[in-house]
Amino acid sequence: MSIENEVDELYRELILDHYRRPRNTQFIPEAQHNAEGLNPFCGDQINLQIMVDSDKVIQSIGQQGNGCSISQASASMLTEVLKGKSLEQAKSTNNCFRRLLEGETIEDSELASLGVLEALAGVRKFPVRIKCALLAWTTMEDALGDSE
Amino acid sequence: MFDPEDIKKDFPILKRQVHGKRLIYLDNAATSQKPIQMIDAITEYYKKYNSNIHRGVHTLSAEATQEYETAREKVARFINAPNVKSIIFVRNTTEAINLIAYSWGLKNLKKGDEIVLTEMEHHSNLIPWQMVAKQTGATLRFIPVIENGTLNLDSLDTIINGQTKLISMASTSNFLGTINPLDLIHKRAKEVGALLMIDGAQSIPHMATNVIDMDCDFLAFSGHKMLAPTGIGILYVKPTVLEKLDPFLMGGEMIKEVWLDHATWNDLPNRFEAGTPDIAGAIGLGAAIDYLEALGMDNVRKHEIAITTYALEKIKEIEELTVLGPKGIQNRGGLISFTLANIHPHDIGTLLDSEGIAIRTGHHCVMPMHRKLNLPASARASFYVYNTYQDIDIFILGLKKVVDYFNNVDRKRG
């Protein structure tokens, strides 16, 4: 694949759309789980709030931040994909997404659970940007802590 | 005759391709590339006279010691130091500043004393002093930076006062490119009897330096930004100050006589060079200085003014781009930090890299100044002796492609 194609894969339309029009940016003060994620190397920053019901299903999820297109699109996509999922499912999506970025082959059945996140697969070719794509997910891990 | 096209030929790395395109290296403020003459000098050392220095009577050790000490003489001459003993080899600028923070700062400062820095300092000239302030009770004060990236000297006489014991500041800012008015700061420092430390990392590689004229007490800089290898840095200390300075690191080489319970210190400057130093690095630095002196430091600065002026002019073709730092060239070094519309610096960096162009993106280790300018990050292009007008043209073309890419991405895919 030429570098031009790789760049196009990195900046797919869906990614830039999430970057320009981030989803779920409302702040949720009553959320049980929240965290701030910071990538000091580049100054990317994400705040995440996750509100769950008594069955540990994500009722609403909010994110606010600033940074590069990849970090912000990933955060926006995270909120879209995780809404309505259980915390258990959220953790397995996190795991699956990380494997996708590490270049592992993901089974079609699992790929479906990633939804729009599959658009970020192009980041694999840009190792220095993987950290950008993972910031929201590391922040989610911090927010959920040891919660079961 | 200073011809960057000719100079380029001495740098093997500049022949390589990145993503199928000729490398355009514009990250010189982070580290410079290395000429073959310097690489050969290091190879020669390892192939022919690798040995430890200041020990042993065998031929190799004598040769290595000779070359290591010759490098010190070259450094002394390069910055016009009053004597060779005032040159201490360290790892880098950061270590040089830490040496002063520990050996001078912790020993000499107390509650009520003040250390003056500027708001534009690299973290390496900020964090060590935060540590010193915390441990001694001394206070940090900062010369503010105004919108155009220069120091606000209006309240200089208040900020630098009778309590001030040390002023430590960059000669050229690695972020804004500002060349600071050291003469005015020096004048005020002498009025109040404060010592002056200069972080010369961004100025020594780029212009002639004369520490006697500067009359600074400490000067720190790195070899790797001036064609030498990473791992070798330089601390110059004014002889009268050096005499009273306690050692920083303890161990071999820095001692004269050792008993089980005490020791006496070696002569200067070895007192400050505990353990086996970066011998190859020092020899490489010597070769790098030879190279720069052959070019002539005045020519180096002239070239940088020419190329930076050209870049500042050409960059105006990109409406969406905002240049940070001083507008004029006289108080600007060979670097340009900028923002580009609402395109994040990392995205600029990735797209330029796909064109073979290397720039720096992020906060450049100057977070407080970015915060003051309300910027999470910025992009920086920095130039050196081998950069040509054609490099700048390709860089500008690359920036235009970045703008087009982000403007047109919807249309292109629609």
Q: What is the CATH number of the domain that holds B318?
A: 3.90.1150.10
Please give the structure tokens belonging to residue B8.
């380029």
ipTM greater than cut 0.90: no
Domain boundary among the residues B293, B320, B346 is at B293
Residue pLDDT tens, chain B, 414 long? 799 999 999 999 999 999 999 999 999 999 999 999 999 999 999 999 999 998 878 999 999 999 999 999 999 999 999 999 999 999 999 999 999 999 999 999 999 999 999 999 999 999 999 999 999 999 999 999 999 999 999 999 999 999 999 999 999 999 999 999 999 999 999 999 999 999 999 999 999 999 999 999 999 999 999 999 999 999 999 999 999 999 999 999 899 999 999 999 999 999 999 999 999 999 999 999 999 999 999 999 999 999 999 999 999 999 999 999 999 899 999 999 999 988 999 999 999 999 999 999 998 999 999 999 999 899 999 999 999 999 999 999 999 999 999 887 544 444
Domain boundary among the residues B274, B293, B312 is at B293
Domain that residue A20 falls in: 3-144
Q: What total number of domains does chain B contain? A: 2
Q: Assign residue B91 the CATH number of its domain.
A: 3.40.640.10
Statement to judge: residues B315 and B264 lie in one domain = no
Statement to judge: residues B147 and B171 lie in one domain = yes
Cβ-based contacts of B347 with chain A (< 8 Å): 11, 68-70
Domain boundary among the residues B261, B293, B325 is at B293
Cβ-based contacts of B350 with chain A (< 8 Å): 7, 10, 126, 128-129
Q: Please tell me the distance in Å from B344's CA to the nearest CA on chain A.
A: 5
Domain that residue B254 falls in: 38-293
Statement to judge: residues B283 and B312 lie in one domain = no
Residue A127 touches partner B, C-beta closer than 8 Å? no
Cβ-based contacts of B345 with chain A (< 8 Å): 42, 68
Q: What total number of domains does chain A contain? A: 1
Residue type, B28: N
The answer to whether residue B282 sits within a structural domain is yes
Q: Assign residue A90 the CATH number of its domain.
A: 3.90.1010.10
Statement to judge: residues B183 and B331 lie in one domain = no
Q: Which of B343, B344, B403, B405 is the mutation pick for testing A, counting most A CBs within 10 A? A: B344
Statement to judge: residues B63 and B22 lie in one domain = no
The minimal CB distance from A43 to the residues B354, B362, B410 is found for: B362
Statement to judge: residues B237 and B373 lie in one domain = no
Statement to judge: residues B316 and B368 lie in one domain = yes
The answer to whether residue B320 sits within a structural domain is yes
Question: Considering only CA atoms, which of B209, B204, B208, B168 is closest in space to residue B186?
Answer: B168
Please give the structure tokens belonging to residue B91.
């790892």
The minimal CB distance from A68 to the residues B347, B363, B367 is found for: B347
HSE-CB for B273 with a 13 A CA cutoff: 27
